[in-house]
Structure 1
Amino acid sequence: MRGSLSMITSVRHILLLTVKELRAIRGDKLMLALIVYVFTIATYMVSYAVSTDIKDLSTAVVDEDHSILSRRLADVVQPPLFAAPVQLDPKEAEAALKRGDHVLILSIPPNFERDLRAGRNATLELDIDATAVAHAGNGATFMTSLLSEEISRYFDLPGRGAGLVDVVFRNRYNPNLTPEWFTSVMQLMNSITILTLILSGASMIREREHGTIEHVLVMPVRPHEIVVSKILATALVILAATVLSLIFVVEFLIGVPVAGSLGLFVAGSAIYIAAIASIGLLLASFTRSMGQFGLLVIPVIIVMILLSGGMTPLESMPAWLQAVILTISPSPHFVRFTQSVLYRGSGFGLVGGEMLAMSAMSAAALAIVLLRFRKILSA
């Protein structure tokens, strides 16, 4: 009986403290503006801005052959992959490449068509501005393929696919390879990580800077009630922003088809947010101002995002690094969970392992925060 009464009292304290935290967040106009911006405008803009797809790539052509073939080769460089090519002479091409005016410059040497008809070796020169690594590499690949196919058509050579095997590609879950479908969801996940760390840590720093932590300490509440209330308030705000952003920005404005269960995604996101909020509180416990907290949290955010598998495949990392990051960070598990649920429509049976891993990390982070918080209170 006494244990049940104590539990009810503890839950009541947590709910009251959570309301206090939500009121504090409501009073922080700058934080609310940041949350709205990140989950709406930033998500939409980044989805369309961060892309390595080839579109209107700046090109130029140096035609020293002036043959029918050279004109046909220049004509295949057309939108939407490439901007309409600019005709340059060799000296202008060298200067343009140094100025960064064009990413790709195609040079067709004199007697190019004549050499090919005579059976002699002929070379096309493609100068690439490799300072734009991704666009240069993809652009060069597309350009090489276009030129090769046009030369084959011009001389009526057998096509590349005229062999005994016909290879058919089927793109699952993103048939048109639309980059915004991937970028928007990854940006949403990054926003969850960044704002959860900042919001949870700021709740602790705010108490110290405003001197209200002393008021909380004299209240008949326990350390775990204070910590859980801060995590719960952060989770409610971030989850609400995430769901609204997923429905109205990612799904409605950008047009990403969400294949899986929204309820399952919310459940997994809640577990992940609890783990990240615990980490944020832990970092805040070592600092006494927002400036110190910012300096401490920035490298943590960078490492968690870069090594989450959302920007680069986890499989491309060294095996030892994969093992470490999968053990200490919930981010790669959340990336796998989110991609599986939202893109592939997976159910609990397929993502239960990731949710279990995030739950274990959340429990471990919460336990460490409670130990640290008790030390702060005793001090």
Structure 2
Amino acid sequence: MRLKNILQLGIKELRGLLRDPILLLLIAYSFSLSIYTGASAMPEALSRAAIAIVDEDRSPVSGRIALAFYPPYFVVPRLISAAEMDSRMDAGLDTFALDIPPNFQRDLLAGRSPAIQLNVDATRMTQAFTGAGHIQSIVTSEVNEFLSRYRSGGTLPVDLALRARFNQQLNKSWFGAISNVISSITMLSIVLTGAALIREREHGTIEHLLVMPVGPVEIMLSKIWSMALVVLLASSFAILVVVKGLLEIPIEGSIALFLLGTALQLFATTCMGIFLATVAGSMPQFGMLLMLVLLPLQVLSGGVTPRESMPEIIQIIMLAAPNTHFVILAQAVLFRGAGLSIVWPQLVALLGIGAVLFYFSLRRFRQFLR
């Protein structure tokens, strides 16, 4: 094995990538606009939800409730009549419609428990779940403050002091941005290496390589370092420019340590891409295999939901996936500012998984060349 051959073959891969505008567009989109939109339009976050209020009481307490809804969680409430409520919701103009009944304040002061009707457009699932809880909390708080002027409020036996660490604002876009960066790193590394190998087979250039004084290890390593370098540079741009610059998400830990983990992750996933390309007979088959591999890697690795909430058998199986360890490393370094003394087990795990994938990919690649 000669390093000069690996270098020259890798440069050839980079030149081939530069002549493929579709892949270049995919790289640019995945590490810029995809991350920005995925973070700024997180579906779980309640942002500028449309709400209308039917105030049939016209009392001070109903006015307090109407004034309690304001941006950024809700738009300024629109006061409508009871006849407009159903038609506006049918037209999709309002996600929430709050109906305050007549004599609401009088019943409150009389010690009764009047009911307020909240209509929710459940087709907007994420806002429906989170928004209903917000509205209930706001209405309860305003009513309690109003009643405290007339009656003594009860004192809570315990005062719970909430201290949110690493994300004091509980901003879900922070999690979404890093999750999208991890997904793009995994997807592009597999796609680029697999597409490079399949493209050579379809164009017939793989036969030209076989008559040259280069071995399978040199060919495979050239594809690994060249495609990994492209994704590593793109992920650096995403972290520094998109995440830290445009989205203004603070990075607590060392970016260099994160990029070291990214390099080990790319070593594993590029080997995986070569393995899948040798199994697939064509680009459409490679795309189908990619879907079967990417979905479990992204959904079950802890990048979408915490691993602790998954069945124990799934947690054990996914320890064999590089994404599981990379998600733990990325969140620990970028969010919590963890150092090498904390994330070294994940680095070792990524290196070990990458070595195993390299071994099996090389065996399969040698069979593919015969």
Q: Do the structures match in fold with TM over 0.5?
A: yes
Matching residue's letter, 1:206? R
Instruction: Give, in whole Å, the separation in 2 of the partners of 1:10 and 1:251.
Output: 40
Equivalences for 1:16-55 in 2 at 5 Å? 16-55=8-47
Give the whole-Å Cα distance in 2 for the aligned partners of 1:361 and 1:236.
19
Instruction: Tell me the alpha carbon deviations over residues 197-227 of structure 1, each in whole angstroms, 9 at most, x when there is no partner.
Output: 1101011011111110001111122212211
Give yes or no for contact 1:152–1:158 (8 Å, CA) kept in 2.
Answer: no
Could you list the per-position Cα deviations for residues 285-315 of structure 1 after superposition, in whole angstroms to 9, with x for gaps in the alignment? 1223222212221232222111221111111
Larger mean CA deviation between 260-269 and 151-160 belongs to 151-160
Alignment partner, residue 140 of structure 1 = 132
Which deviations, in whole Å up to 9, do the C-alpha atoms of 1:208-256 show, x marking residues without a partner?
1111000111112221221111111111111111112211221122112
Q: Which residue of 1 aligns with 2:203?
A: 210
Letter in 1 for 2:198: I
The reply to whether residue 57 of structure 1 matches residue 49 of structure 2 is yes
> Structure 2 vs 1, CA of residues 79 and 241 (structure 1 numbering), >3 Å: closer, same or farther?
closer
Kindly state the Cα deviation for residue 87 of structure 1 after the two structures are TM-superposed: 2.6
Instruction: State which drifts further: 43-52 or 314-323.
Output: 43-52
Distance of 2:72 and 2:230 partners within structure 1:
42
Identify which of 336, 352, 356 aligns with 1:344.
336
Q: Which residue number in structure 1 is paired with residue 187 of structure 2?
A: 194
What residue identity is the alignment partner of 1:204?
L
Runs of 4 or more off by more than 6 Å in structure 1?
A: none
SS in 2 for 1:55: coil
Distance of 1:163 and 1:287 partners within structure 2: 64
**Partner residue in 1 for 2:302:** 309
Structure 1 residues 14 and 84: CA distance shift in structure 2, 3 A: same
Q: Which moved more, 1:135-144 or 1:68-77?
A: 68-77
Whether the 8 Å contact between 1:44 and 1:254 is mirrored in structure 2 is yes
Question: Aligned to 2:117, which of 121, 125, 128?
Answer: 125
Does 2:318 match 1:325? yes
User: 194-203 or 102-111, which moves further after superposition?
Assistant: 102-111
What amino acid maps onto 2:166 in structure 1? Y
Give the structure-2-normalised TM-score. 0.94
Task: Report if the CA contact (8 A) 1:193-1:273 is conserved.
Answer: yes
Contact 1:201 1:281 in 2 (8 A): yes
Instruction: Kindly provide the CA deviation profile for residues 112-152 of structure 1, in whole angstroms up to 9, marking residues without a partner as x.
Output: 22222222221112122222222112111111111111111
Q: How far 1:67 sits from its partner (Å)?
A: 2.6
Q: Is the 8 A contact 1:282 1:369 kept in 2?
A: yes
**Aligned-residue RMSD, C-alpha:** 1.8
The CA deviation at 1:159 is 5.7
Report whether the alignment pairs 1:175 with 2:168: yes
Q: CA deviation at 1:275?
A: 0.8
Q: Distance in 2 between the 1:115 and 1:41 partners?
A: 53
Partner of residue 116, structure 1: 108
Query: Partner letter of residue 299 of structure 1?
Result: L
SS of the equivalent of 1:60 reads strand
CA distance in 2, matches of 1:153, 1:14: 72
**CA shift at 1:158, angstroms?**
5.1
- Paired position in structure 2 for 1:234: 227
Structure 2, unpaired ranges of 5+: none
Tell me the SS of whatever aligns to 2:331. helix
Matching of residues 254-269 of structure 1 within 5 Å: 254-269=247-262
| Aligned-pair CA distance for 1:337 | 0.4
The question of whether the paired residues in 2 share the 8 Å contact of 1:62 and 1:87 is answered with yes
Please say which of residues 176-185 and 342-351 is displaced more in the overlay: 176-185
Q: Distance in 1 between the 2:332 and 2:190 partners?
A: 24
The structural deviation recorded for 1:36 is 1.9
Q: Which runs of 5+ in 1 are unaligned?
A: 1-8
Task: Tell me the TM-score normalized by structure 1.
Answer: 0.92
Counterpart selection for 2:361 from 366, 369, 375: 369
Look up the match of 2:265. Answer: 272
SS of 2:53's equivalent?
A: strand
Alignment length, in residue pairs? Answer: 368
Counterpart CA distance in 2 for 1:158 and 1:232 is 71
Match of 2:367, as an amino acid? K
For 1:360, which of 333, 349, 352 is the aligned residue? 352
8 Å Cα contact 2:43-2:126 kept in structure 1: no
Distance in 1 between the 2:69 and 2:4 partners? Answer: 69
Query: Kindly, what percent of the aligned residue pairs are identical?
Result: 39
Instruction: Go from structure 1 to structure 2 and tell me whether the alpha carbon gap of 1:167 and 1:267 turns closer, same or farther (over 3 Å shift).
Output: same
CA displacement 1:338-367 (0-9 Å, x = unmatched)? 011111111111111111111121111111
Quick check: 293-302 or 204-213, which moved more?
Answer: 293-302
User: Which stretch has the larger CA shift, 367-376 or 291-300?
Assistant: 291-300
Per mean C-alpha deviation after superposition, the further-off stretch among 362-371 and 77-86 is 77-86
The offset of 1:41, in angstroms, is: 2.2
Structure 1 Cα separation of the partners of residues 153 and 45 of structure 2:
26
Shift of 1:20: 1.8
User: Could you tell me how far 1:283 is from its partner in structure 2?
Assistant: 0.9
Cα distance between partner residues in 1 of 2:91 and 2:270: 47
* Rounded Cα–Cα distance in structure 1 between residues aligned with 2:216 and 2:276: 17
- Select between 9-18 and 35-44 the one with higher mean Cα deviation: 9-18
Aligned to 1:3: none
**Number of the residue aligned with 2:92:** 100
Q: Which residue in the other structure is 1:4 paired with?
A: none
Deviation at 1:51, TM superposition (A): 4.0
In structure 1, the residue corresponding to 2:31 is in which secondary structure?
helix
